[in-house]
Structure 1
Amino acid sequence: MEKVHLTGKEKSELWGEGLITVILLLMLNLAVVVLGKQMIASDPHLQNSIWGIKNVLTFGQNNVHFWSWRNFFVGVMAVVDAIVVYWRLIRRYRQMQMRHVIAELHYIADGHLDHRIHFEVNNDLQKVISSINALVDSTVNSMEEERRIEKSKDELITNVSHDIRTPLTSIIGYLGLIEDKQYQNPDELVKYTHTAYLKAKQMKVLVEDLFEYTKSRQTTTPLNAVEFNMVAMLEQLAASYELEAEKKGISIQVHGDPDPLMMEADTEKLSRVFNNLIINAFKYGKGAKNLFLDAQKVGSEAIIKVSNDGDPIPNDSLSQLFDRFYRVEGSRSQETGGSGLGLAIAQSFISLHGGYIYADSTPELTSFVIHLPLKLGTTLKKPQ
């Protein structure tokens, strides 16, 4: 903070204000004295009772003069005059401070949003300055957030357009071959039709995931909360994926502590989260032999881990896993490449519940760790 630096003109105005005030007060004092003398001269009784009393206080046996009413009156007038001059100068100085603050405010309003007012002024004006700076900070943050959202929308449209155009091009291409009867035999016709069908399904998955992602990002999305046993839910998920796990040579193991682990949540949305994590483990957990579903109660939260012992995720990819359309390099083939929205959807649904999710990967185990409050309505703070 720095004090307001007055210009030469403002200093002259301040001196002029003080000089004019002193002159006016001297004239007022003179008028009061003259008027008082005239009143006393015209009234003998008043002269004897007040102005005529020369010494109202004495000191010692010799009656040394200590004070007189006349001197007392002059002293009071001097004090009052000094207060008036000080008040007038402070008032004018604060007006000048306000002019400087307004000038700073106009400078910010002209587009210099990185500028802030750093004046050291009186308490009331200081509160105004603090409010102005806070308002500018809030405005800048809102503008940056709006730009970020706009950029995010543009990226979303670009990515969706790219991912939809690829299968759509294939569908049009194969259907065009069929339309032009450019096939040699019925088997080739079936092949073209089947490929177009698979590409159409791929588009359908992308559109559904995009719709789900958009819905999950809305903070007004309602949660149909029910009380349930998290361990039982994981066991049901394990049973539903048992056949697929057997085909891939993966064993699914469920563990809960305690069992039952009762909590409140929207089970439909949590099922989507766990489905995405399990499918990801099947697709990208290359070489995995085990899939672990663990639930543990710690204080007022439940910690759920979906882990596999397949190949680890590179460290430079861990922080980007939950970004929209992000896929770890090496998993972009048509066989494994999904919409790239599954983990972003999972993160959004977990956030709606007041929890958080992160990934951890070592050579031994790759885990997606979810922290959820046991009671809906509580928000957990993710440690830094």
Structure 2
Amino acid sequence: MIVLLSIIVMFLCIILFLQYRAKQEKDQHLRYMAEKLEGIMMDSTREQIQIVTDDKQVVHLMMQINQLLDRSREHERNFIHTEASMKRMLANISHDLKTPLTVIVGYLEMLENQSNITVSEQAHLLRKVRKKANELVHLMNTFFDLAKLESGDLVIELERVNLTEIAKQNMLAFYELIETKGFEVDIQLPDKPIWMRGNEEALNRIFNNLISNALKYGADGNWFGLHLCEDKQFITIQIIDRGKGLDEIQQERVFERMYTLEESRNKAFQGSGLGLTITKRLVEAMDGVIQVVSKPYEETIFTIQWKR
């Protein structure tokens, strides 16, 4: 009996000792993790917490902390990217607003200070003032439209629309410009209507933005294509040009707010840098996706797809 009790006591001591050692080891791991985490956060390093242990709870905690670190770094990268984008956007907005305002002020000063100006010259200057004022109003409306789209305040009501007819009407609107510039064209529209749930006004704006963009930036290729088709899964629109195209960085950033090619800041390529951003938001508001693939002077293709 005494021997049995001794064995039991010995086993209890061993168990207590092992539990004590396990607790010590767990406490040591937790202290290390706390100190390591504090160092990572203070120094903003890219390290992760690494511990070799058989304790499943410690391993699980370590994995969760590393996931939180990854998310924190991703949020930090997004914040830095957004901050840079906002600074660029403010600079571009200032530039785009300042240009027409400066011209308007200049014309008004001419009207005010030149007493010998003729009636016809006054009318000519006033027409220029009106043109620049209209540009300014259009630009402000574009900014407000994007703000409404991104805040969700602009409601895009969906109804059954004939996408084939909308595409035809938009092509007719650009027909004279395409003919004047002597573009070769490849228009592939189905004979039958393609019906979808969409918003006609939004679709007109999408077509307008993409077609005008292709004619403006793809002018070097002297070629324009518009393809519309459907299959059992998707409705697909492609706007194609063979101009100078986009490099890989431009393809990644072309839908960003206020992102414009360098040429777009020149007089011949005036633009707010919001057209493609608004296009993307409108496509997404109708549950579609848009992407671009470009090979300079071969093909630049903007593709929009909606699920059937």
TM over 0.5: yes
Partner amino acid, structure 1, of 2:114:
K
* Distance change >3 Å, CA 253–CA 95, structure 1 → 2: closer
Higher CA-based Rg = 1
* Distance change >3 Å, CA 184–CA 259, structure 1 → 2: same
1: CA distance between counterparts of 2:94 and 2:166? 36
Structure 2 match to 1:369: 303
Whether 1:259 aligns to 2:192 is: yes
- In the TM superposition, what is the alpha-carbon distance from 1:292 to its structure 2 partner? 3.3
How many residues align structurally? 303
2: CA distance between counterparts of 1:184 and 1:147? 53
Structure 1 stretches of 4+ with a deviation exceeding 4 A read 243-254, 287-291, 361-366
SS class of match (2:260): coil
- In the TM superposition, what is the alpha-carbon distance from 1:210 to its structure 2 partner? 1.9
SS class of match (2:203): helix
Structure 1 match to 2:7: 75
User: Out of 229, 240, 260, which is 1:326 matched to?
Assistant: 260
Q: Runs of 5+ in structure 2 lacking a partner? A: none
User: Out of 12, 22, 39, which is 1:107 matched to?
Assistant: 39
Structure 2 match to 1:86: 18
2: CA distance between counterparts of 1:72 and 1:108? 53
- Taking structure 2 as the reference length, the TM-score comes to 0.83
Structure 1 match to 2:284: 351
Maintained 8 Å contact 2:205/2:279: yes
Partner amino acid, structure 1, of 2:20:
R
Partner amino acid, structure 2, of 1:316:
D
User: Out of 183, 208, 212, which is 1:275 matched to?
Assistant: 208
- For 1:1-384, list aligned pairs within 5 A: 69-112=1-44, 114-121=46-53, 122-181=55-114, 183-218=116-151, 221-249=154-182, 254-257=187-190, 259-286=192-219, 291-308=224-241, 312-316=243-247, 319=251, 321-323=254-256, 324-327=258-261, 329=263, 333-334=266-267, 336-352=269-285, 353-361=287-295, 363=297, 366-374=300-308
Maintained 8 Å contact 1:216/1:348: yes
SS class of match (1:217): helix
Maintained 8 Å contact 2:236/2:304: yes
Higher RCO (CA < 8 A, seq sep 6+): 2
Higher mean C-alpha displacement, 172-181 vs 282-291? 282-291
- In the TM superposition, what is the alpha-carbon distance from 1:90 to its structure 2 partner? 1.8
- In the TM superposition, what is the alpha-carbon distance from 1:159 to its structure 2 partner? 0.5
Maintained 8 Å contact 1:113/1:140: no
* Distance change >3 Å, CA 215–CA 332, structure 1 → 2: same
2: CA distance between counterparts of 1:112 and 1:357? 34
Q: Runs of 5+ in structure 1 lacking a partner? A: 1-68, 375-384
**CA offsets 1:326-370 (integer angstroms, 9 cap, x no match):** 1363x6554552323212221232233341221435646543222
Q: Which has the higher helix share?
A: 2
- In the TM superposition, what is the alpha-carbon distance from 1:172 to its structure 2 partner? 0.5
Maintained 8 Å contact 1:357/1:370: yes
2: CA distance between counterparts of 1:152 and 1:183? 48
SS class of match (2:301): strand
- Taking structure 1 as the reference length, the TM-score comes to 0.68
2: CA distance between counterparts of 1:183 and 1:351? 56
- In the TM superposition, what is the alpha-carbon distance from 1:245 to its structure 2 partner? 4.3
SS class of match (2:95): helix
- In the TM superposition, what is the alpha-carbon distance from 1:226 to its structure 2 partner? 1.8
**CA offsets 1:264-320 (integer angstroms, 9 cap, x no match):** 233322221111112223434437776433112244222211234xx6124438525
SS class of match (2:247): helix
- In the TM superposition, what is the alpha-carbon distance from 1:222 to its structure 2 partner? 3.7
Maintained 8 Å contact 1:234/1:254: no
